[in-house]
A and B are shown apart, each in its own frame.
Chain A
Amino acid sequence: MARNRILVVEDDESINKVIVKNLTAAGYAVFSCLDGEQAAKAVSRDTDFDLALLDVMLPGIDGFALLGILRHAEIPVIFLTAKNDVESKVRGLREGADDYIVKPFEVLELLVRIEKVLERTGKLRQVLEVGPLTINLLERSVRQDGEEIPLKPMEFDLLVMLAKNKNIALSRERLLHGVWGVDYQGETRTVDVHIAQIRKKLGLNEQIRTISKLGYRLEDA
């Protein structure tokens, strides 16, 4: 299955770059625009986007106007807003945005929200590809160069979380909460043990990198 295509409309060049870099690293196909007109043009040519990240304050056609166009093209929208007031959030959601995220935002939070919206709208890819690995979420199977490798449930979930955020480091706490749940009382060593297992079973010593002071990162190659 092809990668999820995401339209990014953000007028601040630096923020735009950050978003594009991280989404690309995490395995999304990204089309980026710096203003509303460009975005409107892009959508008029090609409506095959799974999601749009949309800044509210845009020069030219503003976020709310663009929202109408995107809704018309049936593209789910996450609002990026610097305004942390209820009014603009409510307006965004009422006019059909699927979610919003307030600046300054955390990159990982952005990835989670994108994933949730894709999941809700049924557009989330069910097959993840990381280097030689093919992870099928529906079958809950992992294939390495076409050969299925059995993993325990927790190992599989951990691998999926790393794969969904590939090329981006995740802390041990985040992995622990994400896989074992927020109520889990265990220690972060649990994560280390499972990582060791995955590395051994899949031979991913190089690809799953330990990032000092932070955690782990699954890399493409």
Chain B
Amino acid sequence: MRLWLKVSLIALILVVLATGACSLIMLIRSGESNLALSVENTLTNQQVRAASWSTAMTSELDSQYTDVARRSLARYLIAKFAQGNTILLSGADTIYNSTSIDPKDYLPITAGSQQYVVAEINGRSMLLAGSQITIAKTDYQLYAVSDITPVYTGVETMAYQFALINACILALAGGVLMLLLRAVLRPVQTLQKNTAYLASGVYNRRIEILQDDEIGELAADFNRMADAVETHVRALKEEAERRTMFMSALTHEMKTPITGISGNAQTLLGTKMTEEEREDALIAINNECLRMERLSQKLMQLIVLRQGGEMERKPASVSDLLENVYASATGLIHQRGLTLHMQNEMGTLTMERDLLASLLLNLIDNAGKASRPGDTIEVLACGNVISVRDHGCGMPREELDKITQPFYRIDRSRAKKAGGIGLGLALAEEIARLHEARLEFESEPGIGTTVKVVFEYDS
């Protein structure tokens, strides 16, 4: 059962009970008071009649009157005072009776005091009030009879009216209550719907918060939860995508050397070749194998870096680092006929020295590949930035976003001739990430490239 219905029903039952009880009490009270009023009226009437009649009887009566004359007088006088239903008895003798009731059946009177009874006679509620009056040693019983059925039917009518009014109140209250509750609980329904969406994998729906109450707070919390879920799911999805892309790039990357090896091997096996050609094919196979070896080494490095590992970073002097790098790069620089210029304005930096050195060497190597013999490569450490600048061929702007992707090479065949695997910048980026640094590239075709390692530490 829906919550709004449940609450409405409980509330309605309470309303029914309350109004019912009130109505009942009121009915009983009013019935009682009406009855009391009727009884009192009748009693008063009877009393008044008894008094009037006995006074007249006493003053008119003569001791010489015979029984018959006395009875006639009594009858005459009672007829005079009787208004409506009056009965006068004297023992078994009915002197006067304007009704069809024999009161002795219902209210036999023996003592002098006033008595009354309510009796069901011919389907009507009759009130009989009577008293015994003794005049000249004769006992008379005077009754007043009144029909009090209207008191009961009045109560009944009133009960019907109350029931009707109660029903109306109930219907009205019920309707209003349900509408109100539904309106109040609608946000809960919205909340429920959105939870269902979230559960089924739709993460981008949010609840519009209209209320400043608990439900509103719940909705706000729900939105926060949905935000968190969406963010995490997106991160997971991106990570999964990145991995898939990496795997497909890797597979693709493996295929080229494998094709070279297998093609050369097949040719060696089956195709007629000169001795020189055979040697060429073997050299090609060897080269491809070396290339795959390099690829697997770099891959291992990348995997280790990506897992984060336990990397111990220590504060170390940047000038020492640059000296190291200079020493390692010398061979490469001279081979290409280049000049390496270094300038340091940084003090110490928290670093893993070997990794950071390998990052810088990588960047210098790239700069060297882009440069022409005679060019200068400048390394500048200043503020929180170490930059490597060359004056080589540069890169088009649209390539800059892609160059850190694993296996991305702007010119594949040239890169291959230079021994490139396509993982250099991907590795550099991972090393930078482990140092809470980021790589920034500025490049202009024909003018040169600057790569900045920007450290985001608090200095």
Cα A15 to Cα B267 with chains together (Å): 11
Choose among B252, B263, B410, B413 the residue that contacts A83 (Cβ–Cβ < 8 A): B252
Given that A18-B260, A103-B255 are known contacts, is A13 also in contact with B413, CB under 8 Å in the complex?
Answer: yes
B264 at the interface (CB under 8 A from A): yes
Main secondary structure, interface of A, reads loop
Interface residues on B, range: 20 to 34
Q: Which of A18, A59, A85, A106 has the most CB of B within 10 A?
A: A18
The A-contacting residues of B in range 383-417, CB under 8 angstroms, are 410-414, 416-417
- Min Cβ gap A39→B in Å is 13
- Min Cβ gap A178→B in Å is 15
Residues of A within 8 A of B270 (CB): 107-108, 168-170, 211, 214, 217
- Min Cβ gap A91→B in Å is 16
Closest chain A residue to B416 by CB distance? A12
Cα A67 to Cα B287 with chains together (Å): 31
Contact yes or no, B413 A25, CB < 8 A: no
Contact yes or no, B271 A12, CB < 8 A: no
Residues of B within 8 A of A35 (CB): 413
Residues of A within 8 A of B263 (CB): 14-15, 18-19, 104-105, 107
B68 at the interface (CB under 8 A from A): no
Contact yes or no, B272 A15, CB < 8 A: no
Choose among A25, A82, A168, A170 the residue that contacts B259 (Cβ–Cβ < 8 A): A82
Choose among B248, B284, B411, B412 the residue that contacts A14 (Cβ–Cβ < 8 A): B284
Cα A31 to Cα B288 with chains together (Å): 24
Contact yes or no, B280 A104, CB < 8 A: no
Contact yes or no, A14 B273, CB < 8 A: no
A219 at the interface (CB under 8 A from B): yes
Q: Which of A12, A83, A105 has the most CB of B within 10 A?
A: A12
B330 at the interface (CB under 8 A from A): no
B348 at the interface (CB under 8 A from A): no
List 30 contacting pairs A-B, 8 Å CB cutoff, sorted by A: A12-B259, A12-B260, A12-B413, A14-B263, A15-B259, A15-B260, A17-B284, A18-B260, A18-B266, A18-B284, A21-B273, A21-B281, A22-B267, A34-B413, A59-B410, A59-B412, A59-B413, A82-B252, A82-B255, A103-B258, A104-B263, A105-B259, A106-B262, A107-B266, A107-B270, A108-B266, A108-B270, A168-B271, A169-B270, A211-B270
